[in-house]
Chains A and B, each alone.
Chain A
């Protein structure tokens, strides 16, 4: 549609000198700071390849500091109010983008948000064995909280063992998540099929869910072993 085309066009022109910006944070012609384009995402804001999931923390941090320095309010004190405001907005967005992408879990959630429809449509239940096991564990935790004497000692040893094994499973889930990131990047780079992408996104979502269930049980288990009640959700 014509209106969309024109909007797109003006978005790519510098507000100060009307030269094309190429989506850069500063006008290539007059070096004026530019607002964040509406169609950008956290990856593009940090100057990363589109939706790249395997990110080295050091590289990400470097990009973040470099960008933060560029838009630091100190550099804009003597500029026009409009430039100051844009710099502030950029600094805020860069901050959120960095905090989101730095954390592999938040990064995955963000990718799923970009790539798939609302979470309401993803109410599929995880494998029944996982939940059954966690329920069993929670039942033992409950028994432990109400126990005393020798039984308590035995339950405690048992639960410590369970705690270790759940931690190991959570780590395995995180390893799998990182493997899936590499697969994803390869799919994007090689322009893989939509089906392949969709099934990988589904896998990513499952891994996040598994991790969430494991984390909640581990948290309750730690609390019980420390003599505390179940942490509120």
Chain B
């Protein structure tokens, strides 16, 4: 299949590949998969807990070129956005930015799901930390 130039660019020079430690303060981790093809993706955000702005994002995608490009692109997009703004990103925006063909739409869905999962994880972590008034740290 012919990939668009933007996909190839992100695929060959993926931005923000890597990981944060899951237990680090302000880090939210989203792990998702696409059952159609069995590909998996891990996407992490580092949030400034005061401003709720995403300062950094990292990903590791074990999947096709479109999934790698989608996750690379979305990590660039979310940087500097509030978590609310990041939640509003739709996979269709990725599809049009990367000119993904219909058979590759599920790859962009994976990136949207991953960001949502990372934010959900971040919220869960901060809620938990807020509830633990005695300062114990519960390891996940």
A→B interface (CB under 8 Å): 123, 125-126, 128, 131-132, 134-135, 138-139, 208-209, 212-217, 220, 230, 232-233
Contact = CB atoms under 8 A, between A and B. Distances in A.
A123 B42 CA distance: 17
B1 to A, nearest CB: 9
B38 A123 contact: no
Contacts of B64: 232-233
Interface residues of B, number: 19
Interface string B39-70: 11010000000000000000010111101000
Contacts of B38: 212-217, 233
Given A123-B113, A125-B113, A233-B64, A135 B36 contact: no
A190 to B, nearest CB: 30
Nearest to B41: A135
Contacts of A215: 38
A209 B35 contact: yes
B69 to A, nearest CB: 13
Contacts of A209: 33, 35
A131 B35 contact: no
A131 B38 CA distance: 10
Question: Which of the listed residues A214, A217, A233 has the most CB atoms from chain B within 10 Å of its own CB?
Answer: A233
Interface of B: 31-33, 35-40, 42, 60, 62-65, 67, 109, 113, 117
A118 B64 CA distance: 24
What 8 A-B pairs come out closest when comparing CB atoms?
A: A216-B38, A209-B35, A233-B64, A212-B38, A138-B62, A233-B37, A131-B31, A213-B38
Given A123-B113, A216-B62, 5 more contacts: A131-B33, A212-B38, A216-B37, A216-B39, A232-B65
18 contacts: A125-B117, A131-B32, A131-B33, A134-B33, A138-B40, A138-B62, A139-B60, A209-B35, A212-B38, A213-B33, A213-B38, A216-B37, A216-B39, A216-B62, A217-B40, A233-B38, A233-B63, A233-B64
A126 B37 contact: no
Given A135-B62, A233-B64, A212 B35 contact: yes
Nearest to B37: A233
A166 B109 CA distance: 27
Contact of A135 (B60, B67, B109): B60
Nearest to A232: B64
